[in-house]
Amino acid sequence: MTKGFKLTDYDFEFPDELIADKPCEPRDAAKLCVLDRRTGAVEHAAFRDLTKYLNPGDCLVVNRSRVLHARLVGKKPTGGKSELLLVREVEPGVWSAIASGVKAGVTVELPDGWTASIAHGTDGEWRCAFSGQDVLGYLERRGQPPLPPYILKRRKEQGRSPNEAPDAEDYQTVYAREQGSIAAPTAGLHFTPELLKALEAKGVQRAEVLLHVGPGTFRPVNSDDIRDHRMLPEWYRIGPEAIDAMREARAAGKRVVAVGTTATRSLETWAATGAAEGTSEIFITPAHSFKAIDAFITNFHLPRSTPLMLASAFAGRENLLTAYREAIEKKYRLYSYGDAMLIR
């Protein structure tokens, strides 16, 4: 099998203590690993030093999706606990969900007298018909943020609810606007209002796109040949203002710099299909030819994960894994609240 397409090509080891369960304070104090994908050269900086690496006229593209408080805890008629993680609205009052402790035909009792009737869905998800139609409003009142397990573990050890500060807001980007994701577009968690203002003052343009992060981003790759993996659809939209800003940057010889794998996937889907809105099922592997981006900012990802494969496709697998090994030696923190990488 061609190198770069085996699942084992994306293995690496790291100590568990490097998994970050809380963000840096301030956010832009996170470390930044800067990787030159042409030479493999690596530099080490702080995220706030991004002003040194982006140029006037560059277009920084961010994903403005906001994390839903999509986790609901209820009980079955037997009294047992059931958890629902709402993924997307199917129709008013009906949502697709990842669920535990349920089966078709069960009605889950929820706080405030709400119920959810469970039926089979697709792709391992369940169809939940709620007793009310304003599910988004209900989630704002009673839902919990879908924090990653290692963050939930820390909060449980502290005896704190997932809804309490600071994680309820820490797990949102400062530019999050439109609700719809079940996980944060985590590369953007490092930005602060001050850093965004500094970039703007330097002449770096900012464009906003939307991709609502769904379970497809985190779905494990189980096939030995990664080309057999299928991404689940995630809804995206790229407005005309963003398209104009990116085209203006390219026409001036400047770069389009995507913040995160979600922004990258939306842009590469648009470049491949011409559709500025729809569902993205693109799986970016070493076979991909990048058309929409010139650089991108990302976090340090799980072994064998699709975001790691995307970053590897852009940087070159050997370049990326070499940078990972160096970052791990320098005690970079990993995952959602961890440190960042600029691949240029």
DSSP symbol at 232: P
* Residue 159: other Cβ atoms inside 10 A: 6
As a residue count, the chain comes to: 344
pTM (two decimals): 0.93
Phi, psi of 119 (to 5 degrees): -135, 165
Ranking 70-74, 149-153, 235-239, 333-337 by mean pLDDT, the lowest is 149-153
| pLDDT above 80 for 157 | no
As a whole number, the mean pLDDT across the chain is 94
Determine the pLDDT at residue 42: 98
Report, as an integer, the average pLDDT of 217-246: 95
What is residue 114's predicted lDDT score, i.e. its pLDDT? 97
Distance CA 185, CA 208 (A): 13
**3-class DSSP state of 84:** strand
Average confidence (pLDDT) over 336-340: 95
pLDDT (mean) for 299-321: 97
Q: Which stretch of 12-21, 131-140, 141-150, 241-250 has the lowest confidence by average pLDDT?
A: 141-150
Task: Give tens-digit pLDDT for 271-299.
Answer: 999 999 999 999 999 999 999 999 999 99
From the list 66, 68, 65, the residue with the least C-alpha distance to 84 is: 68
Domain locations along the chain: 7-67+172-343, 71-142
Tell whether domain 7-67+172-343 is in CATH 3.40.640.10: no
Q: What digits encode the pLDDT tens for the residues 61-99? A: 999 999 999 999 999 888 899 999 999 999 999 999 999
Single-letter residue type at 243: I
The pLDDT, as a whole number, for residue 3 is 79
Quote the pLDDT of residue 123: 81
* Per-residue pLDDT tens digits for 162-198: 666 678 889 999 999 999 999 999 999 999 999 999 9
pLDDT above 70 as % of the chain: 97
* pLDDT tens digits, one per residue of 120-139: 988 889 999 999 999 999 99
How far is residue 185 CA from its own chain's centroid?
A: 3
- 34, containing H or E segment: strand 31-35
Do 14 and 334 form a contact (C-beta atoms < 8 A)?
A: yes
Which residues fall within 8 angstroms of residue 24, CB to CB, at 6 or more apart? 30, 190, 337
pLDDT band at 106 (very low <50, low <70, confident <90, very high): very high
Helix (H) / strand (E) element for 91: namely strand 81-91
305, 300, 299, 310: which is closest to 266 by C-alpha?
310
- The pLDDT of residue 121: 86
Q: What fold, for 71-142?
A: Thrombin, subunit H (2.40.10)
